[in-house]
Amino acid sequence: PRFVALLPLDSIYTFTARVPNYTSDTVVVDIRGQQRYIEKEVTLRVKSVPYVLVTGRMLNNLSLAPIPSKNKPYVIIDKRKVDSMEYDMAKGTYSIKLPYGKKYTIKLKAKDYKGIPMDLDLTGYSEYQKVTFDLYAKPMNANMVTLGGKIINTKTGKPLEKGIPVQMKVNKQISDAFKYSKKGGRYKIMLPAGFEYEMAPSVKNFYNKVEFVDLRQAKPRSKVRRDFFVTPLEVGQSVDIENIFFDTGKATLLEQSFRSLNALLDFFNEYPNVKVQVGGHTDNRGSAAYNRKLSERRAKSVADYLISHGISKDRFSVKGYGPDRPKASNKTKVGRAKNRRVGFTIEAL
């Protein structure tokens, strides 16, 4: 980059560049005695500071959640605790400046956790950069909950067919703790008690339904049953979007709906060719004509939310079905709640 400076004559000036994380040489320009306009070329050379900024999260390797501050997490480098390490316990992060051109072994330690040594190679760096490097520790079993169940194909209503690879995302990250048996479609995963998790199977060419699994009140060493559901990406397949909320008689999305819709965004970003019809449904209370209009407005609210977050409007159509396609009996409160829903049907791939 170039710079221009207009300066009064008959004086002496010192030039130094100020660039974050770089040092600069100093150039002196002496124009004392100069009475007429003059131009001078000044070249300032900068040099990177001799380190990179390493920063990352301190994570439970099973839940991929930050290790709580009560467990007093800290980081050691090459088997030594480093005083210059900085921590943000509220966010569960660390940062440190390390000289580049070297290799390091970094390990996260915490009470009731076993650290996992990780190699950080900085030999390929020759100037300042910010390097993201997450660290992991494995919780001891005393505080763990065993979550288990089946991966169900919604098209067949049965466990997922043999031969289909299955992984599990916990808080949007693939979990190494997930164990899956292709025989019977059963899974098992151990997670720390005391937290809520966003979980979904990861099965290619399927819609993987996100579940919010609340283990905040679960007892350590307990077992919890939870099935997960996947839907094949085929034209005509339908999916209900759970945890979508509106005030009675209105079509404005309530804030507690956003978590489910944000999870749905990941699906549309992963499969950019999928086009869907968003359908709204109601119970049978009130006139059918009114309910069809209300359900269409609600379906449009869901589509508009996804569009406002970057999904093309060309991928959506909307339809209000009102009470015409019930999933349960309207004679009970539970049944009516099931019938009040918004979902989507795949129209094109």
pLDDT tens string 51-86:
999 999 999 988 888 999 999 999 999 999 999 999
Angle at 276 between CA 271 and CA 278, to 5 degrees: 130
> pLDDT, tens digit, for every residue of 231-240?
999 999 999 9
CATH of 233-349, one of 3.40.50.150, 1.20.120.1200, 3.30.70.100, 3.30.1330.60: 3.30.1330.60
- Tell whether pTM > 0.75: no
Confidence class of residue 182 from pLDDT cuts 50, 70 and 90? confident
The kind and range of the H/E element at 301 are: helix 288-308
Please report which helix (H) or strand (E) contains residue 307, including its range.
helix 288-308
What's the rounded mean pLDDT across residues 285-308? 97
Domain ranges in the chain with CATH number 2.60.40.1120:
51-139, 141-232
Q: What is the pLDDT of residue 59?
A: 95
pLDDT value for 248: 87
CA atoms within 13 A on the CB side of 332: 6
- Residue 130, pLDDT > 90, answer yes
Determine the pLDDT at residue 167.
96
How would residue 184 be classed by pLDDT, with cut points 50, 70 and 90? Answer: confident
pLDDT exceeds 80 at position 317: yes
Q: Enter the DSSP assignment of 243.
A: S
Give the other-Cβ count within 10 Å of 176's Cβ. Answer: 15
Instruction: Quickly list DSSP for 156-169.
Output: TTEEPPTT---EEE
Residue 183: its pLDDT value, please?
81
Strand segments (E) across 112-259: 113-115, 118-121, 130-132, 135-139, 144-153, 158-159, 167-170, 173-174, 179-181, 186-192, 196-202, 206-208, 211-214, 223-225, 228-232, 238-241
Q: Read off the tokens for 343.
A: 């979902």
Q: How far apart are CA 45 and CA 200, in angstroms?
A: 52
What is the maximal distance between C-alpha atoms in the chain? 99
CA distance 161 to 153: 8
CATH 2.60.40.1120 for the 51-139 domain, yes or no: yes
Mean pLDDT over 257-268 rounds to 94
Q: Which CATH architecture has domain 141-232?
A: Sandwich (2.60)
* % of the chain beyond a pLDDT of 70: 100
